Amino acid sequence: MQTGKELIPHLFRTEYSKITAVLAKLFGFEHIEVAEDIASDTFLLAAETWGIKGLPENPVAWLYAVAKNRAKDQLKHRSIFTQKVIGEVKQNSAGLYEMDIDLSNENIVDSQLQMMFAICNPVIPPEAQIGLSLRILCGFGIEEIADAFLSNKETINKRLFRAKEKLRKDHVKIEFPAQSEIDKRLENVLTTLYLLFNEGYYSLSQNVTLRKDLCLEAMRLNFMLVENKSTNKPAVNALLSLMCFHASRFEARTDPKGEIVLYEDQDTSLWDNELITQGEFYLNKAAAGNEVSKYHLEAAIAYWHTKKTDTTEKWENILQLYNKLLQIEYSPMAALNRTYALAKADGKQIAINEAEKLKLVTNHLYYSLLGHLYTDIDNEKAVSHLKMALKRAKSKTDKETIGKSINKLLMQL
Amino acid sequence: MGSIAAQNKLANRGNRLDFEGATVRPGNVVTDGPYAEIKEIMLGYTLVKTDSLEDAIELAKGCPVLNMGGNVEVRSIVEINM
């Protein structure tokens, strides 16, 4: 049976964004902090109350009831009376603020989609659109957003602050944009979902490396886009395909103790063949038309990883896909991972040469790769790179993994 | 993959590309991504295969440094100075 302590983080993931989305729509962008505060306060109260009084019979309903009441209080105490609100209040015969705050499923689905596209408004820069979406829609902390952008907390804080100011100043409305706008905004919406999935796939800052609920949320929202006629584009299907392929291994990626099981040790009987088939389905859908997006290529690479072989053919294919990916859109992390594929296809020495050019000095995975590449070629260098990786690593899990690698090498020196 | 290969979209072109000095296009959003090679595959290869401290001590005993009169301390993970 789940205790309040375990349930709350899970509910936070699933319900926080929904509650915030509906409230943000209600209060408008100028008062988005109100929506965020109410959502946060609701969870705070849950944490306090459930610990003492025990779990309510229906925790989700409890959360929504509290959020509703707080929203009503806010409407009463603040002078947030737009014509719309006054009009609706007048319509009510009782004359009380019987504003029906609709948290039903229909409204939520609608509001979350609206929210995604509304936040991805070109008046603010793309990084701000995505950052704000991750914060408000996905409940990301500032550190998680920083990790997503390979950046730092100060930069992200500034970015989000400026974005909110701009949206407030320009009185940006939360509404589903016109068809012509949807296509323009879709790219950044997809990046948001991509980064949501990415954080769940491997969290750099949290002590739980695999956060399945984030991945599931990303897949759910991506699926909504696929089901919606105006957003059912090739790239959207390709992204969903990518997610399906990676998600197929989730059961095998953790052992009964909750520890990470690495690819070569994973029990393939725990790999979800249905999800792999779904991934193939969406990838085929994505192949319609002439567009090849980065998601097509990443999905194709992910497809190769659903085959647990270690052949040169596999790694040659992956290498070529990475090369093509980097041609379309160069990114440091793609280049880093391409270098691993290069080592597999063409040997470590050539990969070392290319890796050192990358100079991703703030990233622990960069140093981890160098440590791996130098292992058994120059173990002293390998150790020094791994020590740098240890300095840059953030989560306890990552530090332990690197620590073990260093230990092993030190014993061989 | 059959239909995709047939459409020649993701075919192996056989050309190697050197990304020396490649830079991010201005306006391009730089992000992390769910790339499996390092996050899911590589991190395994450098893990120590021994599970117990006893095994690790045995390994350490085979270390050449000891033969030259040096000292190898086997510490459990928690004692590593981070």
**Higher pLDDT, residue B36 or B61:** B36
Quick one: pLDDT at residue B49? 39
Amino acid residing at A36: E
Is the sign of the CA dihedral A313, A318, A321, A322 positive or negative?
negative
Give the span between the Cα atoms of A288 and A357, in whole angstroms.
37
Residue B10 predicted with pLDDT over 70: no
Can you say whether residue B69 is alpha, beta or left, with left for phi > 0 and alpha for psi between -120 and 50 degrees?
Answer: left
pLDDT bucket at B76, cuts 50 / 70 / 90: very low
Quick one: pLDDT at residue A206? 85
Chain A environment of B79 (Cβ under 8 Å): none
Ranking A8-17, A73-82, B20-29, B41-50 by mean pLDDT, the lowest is B41-50
Work out the angle at residue A196's Cα, subtended by the Cα atoms of residues A201 and A19, and round it to the nearest 5 degrees. 130
**Higher pLDDT, residue A261 or B17:** A261
Chain A environment of B24 (Cβ under 8 Å): 330-332
Q: How far is CA A88 from CA A81, A96, B78, in A?
A: 10, 11, 61
Quick one: pLDDT at residue A3? 55
Decide if B47 and A326 are in contact by the 8 Å CB cutoff: no
Q: What are phi and psi of B26, to 5 degrees?
A: -60, 135
Give the span between the Cα atoms of A67 and A71, in whole angstroms.
6
Q: Which two tokens stand for residue B45?
A: 């290869």
Closest partner CB to B80 (pick from A246, A357, A403): A403
Q: How far is CA A308 from CA A125, A175, A302, A314, A350, in A?
A: 41, 45, 11, 10, 25
End-to-end CA distance of chain B: 46
Give the span between the Cα atoms of B76 and B73, in whole angstroms.
10
pLDDT digit string (tens) for chain A, length 413 residues: 455 556 777 787 778 878 887 787 777 766 777 888 898 899 989 988 888 888 888 888 899 889 988 888 887 776 555 444 454 444 443 333 444 566 555 555 656 777 888 889 999 999 999 999 998 888 899 999 999 999 999 999 999 999 989 988 888 876 667 778 888 899 999 999 999 999 999 999 888 889 998 999 899 889 989 988 888 999 999 999 999 999 999 999 988 887 888 899 999 999 999 999 999 999 999 998 788 999 999 999 999 999 999 999 999 999 999 999 999 999 999 999 999 999 999 999 999 999 999 988 888 999 999 999 999 999 999 999 999 999 999 988 888 888 888 988 888 87
Decide if A399 and B33 are in contact by the 8 Å CB cutoff: no
Count of residues for chain A? 413
Closest partner CB to A327 (pick from B17, B27, B35): B17
Longest pairwise C-alpha distance within chain B: 66
Closest partner CB to A246 (pick from B36, B46, B72): B36
Residue A185 touches chain B, beta carbons under 8 Å: no
pLDDT bucket at B18, cuts 50 / 70 / 90: low
**Higher pLDDT, residue B14 or A17:** A17
Q: Which two tokens stand for residue B56?
A: 């690790």
Residue A308 touches chain B, beta carbons under 8 Å: no
Cβ partners under 8 Å of residue B27, min gap 6: A126
pLDDT bucket at B26, cuts 50 / 70 / 90: low
Q: Residue A263: name the closest of B33, B48, B49, B39 by CA.
A: B39
- Contact predicate A295/A286, CB 8 Å: yes
- Is-above-0.95 flag for pTM? no
Residue B72 predicted with pLDDT over 60: no
Give the span between the Cα atoms of A291 and A287, in whole angstroms.
8
- Range B62-67 average pLDDT: 42
- Range B45-59 average pLDDT: 46
Residue A165 DSSP SS3: helix
ipTM of predicted assembly, 2 dp: 0.81
Nearest CA in chain A to B8: A287
